[in-house]
Amino acid sequence: MSKKVAIVTGGGNGLGRAVAVKLASQGVNVAVVDLAEGPGHETVDLVKEQGAEAIFVQADVRKAEDVKRYVDETVKAFGTIDMFYNNAGISGPGKRFVENTIEEIDLVLGINLHGALYGLKYVLEVMLKNGGGSIVNTSSTAGLVGQETVGSYSATKHGIVGITKTIAVEYAREGIQVNAISPGTTETPMVAEYRKANPEQVESVLAAIPQRRLGKPEEVAELVCFLLNGEAKYINGAVIPIDGGFTAQ
């Protein structure tokens, strides 16, 4: 995959950082996108340690102009976009749905759903001009089954499933491959923060995982890179759980 180019949103930590570093180890140049500047630059340094080139683009994915800018800056730096890990997201406040404020609902939908849709629109425009590309969207087990205290988050992750299937069907003949992953509870900073606020909820989820452990970002990165790197060309429109068996029950 030498000289291939990937965009990774939410690349400052967690799944995004793990995927960026894994892609870099395979010779892929990476545009790291995050709202947090410090963690984003840390990921860039980790990518460069793998021998790949990298840039950081600070962006609020709720804003279409920021999303278009990270796409434009990637093309300016590297000339193309071959892969897109559409990953930026937040978990939400961890409260029963009616206890959420309108502002909290709007924040989750803005980042998780609108941000993902904007990213798809602008990245697809580039990929269609260049004759194809591969995209992986981050859904969740909460995009497949009902889970308590994640109402708005669940709505966005079900939406990710729907847009993944739709775009896969619309653009398959034009060389675009689109899949989604549905991670279970994984050892990321987002989950650590949620766990502090909702320890009983997370422990009940942990007890329901057949493997009785949380996932690791590196395990998710292996799946994402397999879907992105051309080894899985005939997998298209799939939504793949990676959850220790949680949704198999």
3-state secondary structure 89-110: CCCCCCCCHHHCCHHHHHHHHH
Residue 43, Cβ density class (10 Å: 0-12 exposed, 13-18 middle, ≥19 buried) = buried
How many angstroms separate the CA atoms of 109 and 231, rounded? 32
For the chain, first and last CA: distance in Å? 37
In which element (H, E) is residue 9 found? strand 5-9
Give the pLDDT confidence of 174-229 residue by residue, as tens digits: 999 999 999 998 988 877 877 777 777 777 878 899 999 999 999 999 999 999 99
Strand ranges inside 10-61, DSSP E: 29-34, 54-58
Q: Which of 65, 177, 173 is nearest to 119 (CA)?
A: 65
For residue 64, give both structure tokens: 């279409």
Which residues have a Cβ under 8 Å from the Cβ of 189 and sit 6 or more positions away? 13, 14
Chain segment 14-40, per-residue pLDDT in tens: 999 999 999 999 999 999 999 999 999
Q: Cβ(40)–Cβ(11) under 8 Å?
A: yes
pTM for the full predicted model = 0.95
Task: Determine which one of 70, 85, 153, 194 is catalytic.
Answer: 153
Q: What is the pLDDT of residues 83-131, one digit of tens each?
A: 999 999 998 888 999 999 999 999 999 999 999 999 999 999 999 999 9
Q: Is 153 a catalytic residue?
A: yes
Q: Where are the domains of the chain?
A: 5-248
Q: Which fold has domain 5-248?
A: Rossmann fold (3.40.50)
Average pLDDT, the chain: 95
Average pLDDT value for residue range 165-176: 98
